[in-house]
Structure 1
Amino acid sequence: MRRVPVVATITVALAVATMIALGLWQLLIRLPEKEAELALLASNPARPVIAFPTRADDRLLFRRATLDCAAPVTIARAGAGSAGYRLIATCAGGQFVQLGTIRSPTGTTGWPGGSVTGRISHAPDARPLIATLFDHSPKPLLLVADTPAPGLAPNAVPDISSVPNNHLAYAVQWFVFATIALVIYALAMRRRRRG
């Protein structure tokens, strides 16, 4: 009978322990945190209107806010799926306002600026996906206007359905990976014993 390979056994044991720990972290820590965050966000639309925040704070998502966007610096386009394009104004103070949507890729609005009331959401993020893995700074916020600017269609109302909660799936995934690693190890040991 051949000896158990020590290095391989220790490597597999450490890998399986790490995967189980990650699964438990997702299940016991991240999932309750996310559920508490979602409960807060679900209550935000019913809270009183506030001034648009000067700092990014995800706890304010979907809350109604007001902003005086006098003399917008630029009005840019961002994809809006089947609605066409979102027109997003950058205010002189650096805040973003989603003015409405338009089907034409060259369409614009003559919005001169002014007071806007709407819901807080995330501004489009042009960073590559790989950059977001290493940059954990808060995403910038924008105000999604309740009333569209002249010549634009109304914005879709941002809501909690856009916030993913995948932590249970992540936990199951880590447990499945640990099980697969153990099965592969068991099969390799069985084959080793048979010579």
Structure 2
Amino acid sequence: MKWPVIPTILVSAAVATMIGLGIWQLQRKEQKEQLLARYEAAANLPPVTWPSVPDKDALPLFRKSTLMCIKVLRIETVSGSNREGKAGFAHLASCSTGGAEGPGAKVAIGWSERPQSPKWAGGTVNGIIAPDNQQLIKLVVTDHVEGLQQLSLPSPQQIPNNHLLYAIQWFIFAAAAAIIYILALRKRMQSA
């Protein structure tokens, strides 16, 4: 029987790539653990000035901050939970923070059982900087806003670290590919 060179090279390359991806995920797990530890420590650091233009590579997540919402541009309502963990509606205000200071700010002003947007005119608010999918960061208000309950506080524990599971998954794929190929070769040898 002639050894199948090209299929062996292709399968070997695929297995090596999957093992490499598994190793990369293990490295990402360590990096994520360091990042989460830094975020955990942020709660005990002094407040920071609200960044007018956030640097995506150095976000001050989970730090205390204060900002001045000069003008409320709009308030949107999304699902959220209060400090007791009860599901309901979070109210997010898009604020102008002044002249040409950048994109403004998103402020999570509070929680309610009903989706109707509250009346809120802005002002100075204190809170904790949390991740935001659209503007990178938002301020989750820790002050009481009239007519609303306080939202659950942002926490680094809400950020998943699934890299170990991803690594295991890649190693299983690599093992499965190698075993399937070896079994196929054995069958081919027996039938030859």
Q: Which residue of 2 aligns with 1:179?
A: 175
The secondary structure found in structure 1 opposite 2:96 is coil
Shift in alpha-carbon separation, 1:123–1:148, aligned structure 2, 3 A: farther
Using structure 2 for the length normalisation, give the TM-score: 0.87
Q: Which residue of 1 aligns with 2:92?
A: 88
Distance 2:87 2:67 in 1: 25
Instruction: State the one-letter code of the partner of 1:162.
Output: Q
Q: Which residue of 2 aligns with 1:10?
A: 9
The question of whether the paired residues in 2 share the 8 Å contact of 1:78 and 1:124 is answered with no
The secondary structure found in structure 1 opposite 2:72 is coil
Q: Which has a greater percent of strand? A: 2
- Identity fraction in percent: 38
Structure 1: runs of 5 or more not aligned? 126-138
The question of whether the paired residues in 2 share the 8 Å contact of 1:40 and 1:59 is answered with no
Q: Which residue of 1 aligns with 2:107?
A: 97
Superposed, which structure 2 residues align to 1:26-175 within 5 Å? 26-27=25-26, 29-54=27-52, 55-57=54-56, 59-80=59-80, 82-93=86-97, 94-105=104-115, 107-125=116-134, 140-175=136-171
Cα deviation 1:109-163 (Å, max 9, x = unaligned): 22111001000112255xxxxxxxxxxxxx5210000024211111101111111
Distance 2:66 2:55 in 1: 15
Instruction: State the one-letter code of the partner of 1:61.
Output: L
Using structure 1 for the length normalisation, give the TM-score: 0.86
Distance 1:143 1:40 in 2: 19
- Paired residues, number: 179
Instruction: State the one-letter code of the partner of 1:26.
Output: Q
How far 1:168 moved relative to its partner? 1.4
Shift in alpha-carbon separation, 1:41–1:59, aligned structure 2, 3 A: farther
RMSD over equivalenced CA pairs, Å: 1.5
Over 2 Å off, 4+ runs: 56-59
Instruction: State the one-letter code of the partner of 1:19.
Output: M
Structure 2: runs of 5 or more not aligned? 98-103
How far 1:8 moved relative to its partner? 0.9
The question of whether the paired residues in 2 share the 8 Å contact of 1:37 and 1:59 is answered with no
